[in-house]
C-alpha cells in the first residue's frame, strides 16, 4: 500500500486557462478515494495526471513518498482500469489478463498462477478461453479489473468503469469492486460523475467543480454538512430543494410565500440568501404545519413516495416520504419542516452560512438486533 499526495497540483493546456486549480489532498494507504463531480470538472484529468498520462503543470505529485512529476507511467507502480475496458479483441480472456505481465518479465508459471487467482476471485474461471466479443458488459469489466489485479500494484486507478453497464449490474459491480479492494488492501482512486457510486463506495470523497475542490470528507459528513450550495445540490438523490429566502424576525421566508419559524433569533445576514431543505426532511404535517402547498405530481416507488409541489409560482420542490401515500394531484397538502433541517446559503458565493452540524448518522450495532 502506498500514500498519494497532491500538493497544489494544477494543470493547464495554455498559459491562460487552468483546468485543474491548485488541488491539495492526501490519499492514505489502503483508502478508497473517490473523485466525483459533473462532466468537465477535471476529475478524469486529475486521474490521468496521477497515472502519468498527463503532465503536471504546477505543484507536486508524491507517490509512496517520492516526487512523481517526471516519472513515466511504468515507474509509478500502479494499475489503471479505463472506462472503455481497453481489451484486445484478438486475445483470449486469459491473454488479456496476463498481457501486462510480459513487460515485467514475470515467469510464465507465475503469470498463470496470478491469472487463475484473479479469475477465481472475479468469477471468470470458465471464461478464460473466450474472446472479449463473446462476453457481456459486466464480464468485460471484470476482465479489465482482473488485468489490474494481477499486476499486484499497490495503487489502482479506475476511470468511470461502470458507466457502460445497466443500473442493476452497476449496483452489483459497486459491491464487488469495494469487496475486492478491501480484500486486497490496495489504495483505490476512483473517478465517477455518479454521486450514488461516490456515496456507497468511498472512504473519502473529493467533490470537484470547474477544476476546484468544493469539499473533501467522508460521504456522510459531506451529505449532512455540505460546505456550499453546489455540494448540497450535487450530493443527494433526489437533490436538495433550493429557493430564494429572506430573514423576517425569527422566521425564514421562502419565495416570499412560505414561513419556517425558528426558535430564538437569527443572524442579520447582509446579503441575499438561498434556503435549502432535503426532500426527506419535508414531512407530512401531524399536529404542526409549517406550510401548505399544491401537489404537482406524485411518484409511488413502492418503499417511498415522491411528492412534487409548488413552492412559488411555477417553481417546484420535492418531498420524499416513506411508504405508499395516495395523494391526489392538485390537492392542497400540509407539510412540516423542522428548523434544524433548513440550510442557508449566500446566493452569490454559494457559501453555507447557516446549518445545524450533524453527526454522520447513527450506526446500529449488534445490540440493535438482539
Question: 99 vs 14, which has greater pLDDT?
Answer: 99
SS (H, E, C) 250-315: CEEEECCCEEEECCCCCCCCCCCEEEEECHHHCEECECECCEEEEEEEEEECCCEEEEEEEEECCE
Strands 291-300 and 258-261: unpaired
Mean pLDDT of the chain: 88
- CATH code of residue 319: 2.40.50.140
How many domains are there within the chain? Answer: 2
**CA distances to 119, 255, 260 from 114, in Å:** 8, 62, 61
Cβ atoms of 229 and 350 within 8 Å: the answer is yes
- Rounded CA-CA distance 52/66 in Å is 14
Q: The domain containing residue 74 runs over which residues?
A: 4-229
| pLDDT tens per residue, range 225-248 | 999 999 999 998 899 999 998 887
Q: Where on the phi/psi map is residue 276: left (φ > 0), alpha (ψ -120 to 50), or beta? A: beta
Q: Percent of the chain, pLDDT > 70?
A: 95
Residues 39 and 87 in one domain: yes
pLDDT value of residue 91: 93
Residues 82 and 60 in one domain: yes
Q: Looking at the structure, do residues 140 and 289 belong to the same domain, yes or no?
A: no
| Whether residue 181 is found in the same domain as residue 214 | yes
Dihedral pair phi/psi, residue 208, rounded to 5°: -110, 150
Whether 40 and 83 share a structural domain: yes
Task: Examine the domain organization and report whether 257 and 163 are in the same domain.
Answer: no
| Domain assignment of residue 370, yes or no | no
The reply to whether 247 falls in a domain is: yes
For residues 195 and 219, the answer to whether their CB atoms sit within 8 Å is no
Question: What is the predicted pLDDT for the residue at 359?
Answer: 57
CB atoms within 10 A of CB 256: 12
List pLDDT tens digits, range 269-280.
777 899 999 999
CA 178 to chain centre: 14
Amino acid at each position: 500500500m502506498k500514500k498519494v499526495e497532491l500538493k497544489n497540483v494544477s494543470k493547464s493546456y495554455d498559459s491562460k486557462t487552468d483546468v485543474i486549480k491548485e488541488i491539495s489532498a492526501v490519499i492514505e494507504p489502503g483508502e478508497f478515494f473517490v473523485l466525483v463531480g459533473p462532466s468537465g470538472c477535471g476529475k478524469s484529468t486529475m486521474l490521468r495526471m496521477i497515472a502519468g498520462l498527463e503532465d503536471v503543470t504546477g505543484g507536486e505529485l508524491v507517490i509512496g513518498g517520492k516526487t512523481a512529476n517526471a516519472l513515466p507511467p511504468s515507474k509509478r507502480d500502479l494499475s489503471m482500469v479505463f472506462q472503455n475496458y481497453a481489451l484486445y479483441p484478438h486475445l483470449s480472456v486469459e491473454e488479456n489478463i496476463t498481457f501486462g505481465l510480459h513487460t515485467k518479465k514475470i515467469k510464465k508459471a507465475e503469470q498463470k498462477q496470478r491469472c487463475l487467482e484473479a479469475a477465481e476471485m472475479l468469477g471468470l474461471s470458465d471464461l478464460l478461453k473466450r474472446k472479449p466479443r463473446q462476453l457481456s458488459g459486466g464480464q468485460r469489466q471484470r476482465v479489465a479489473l482482473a488485468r489490474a489485479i494481477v499486476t499486484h500494484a499497490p495503487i489502482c486507478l479506475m476511470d468511470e468503469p461502470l458507466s457502460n453497464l445497466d443500473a442493476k449490474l452497476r449496483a452489483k459491480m459497486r459491491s464487488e469492486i469495494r469487496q475486492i479492494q478491501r480484500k486486497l488492501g490496495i489504495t483505490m482512486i476512483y473517478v465517477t460523475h455518479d454521486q450514488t457510486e461516490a456515496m456507497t463506495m468511498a472512504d473519502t470523497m473529493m467533490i470537484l467543480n470547474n477544476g476546484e475542490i468544493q469539499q473533501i470528507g467522508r460521504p456522510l459528513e459531506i451529505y449532512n454538512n455540505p460546505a456550499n450550495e453546489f455540494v448540497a445540490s450535487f450530493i443527494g438523490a433526489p437533490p436538495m430543494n433550493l429557493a430564494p429566502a429572506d430573514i423576517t424576525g425569527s422566521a425564514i421566508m421562502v419565495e416570499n410565500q412560505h414561513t419556517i419559524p425558528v426558535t430564538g433569533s437569527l443572524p442579520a445576514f447582509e446579503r441575499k440568501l438561498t434556503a435549502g431543505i432535503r426532500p426527506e426532511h419535508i414531512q407530512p404535517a401531524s399536529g404542526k404545519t409549517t406550510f401548505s402547498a399544491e401537489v404537482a405530481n406524485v411518484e409511488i416507488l413502492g418503499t417511498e413516495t415522491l411528492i412534487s409541489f409548488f413552492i412559488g409560482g411555477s417553481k417546484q420542490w420535492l418531498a420524499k416520504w416513506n411508504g405508499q401515500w395516495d395523494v391526489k394531484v392538485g390537492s392542497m397538502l400540509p407539510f412540516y419542516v423542522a428548523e434544524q433541517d433548513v440550510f442557508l446559503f449566500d446566493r452569490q458565493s454559494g457559501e453555507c452560512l447557516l446549518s445545524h452540524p450533524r453527526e454522520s448518522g447513527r450506526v446500529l450495532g449488534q445490540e440493535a438486533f438482539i
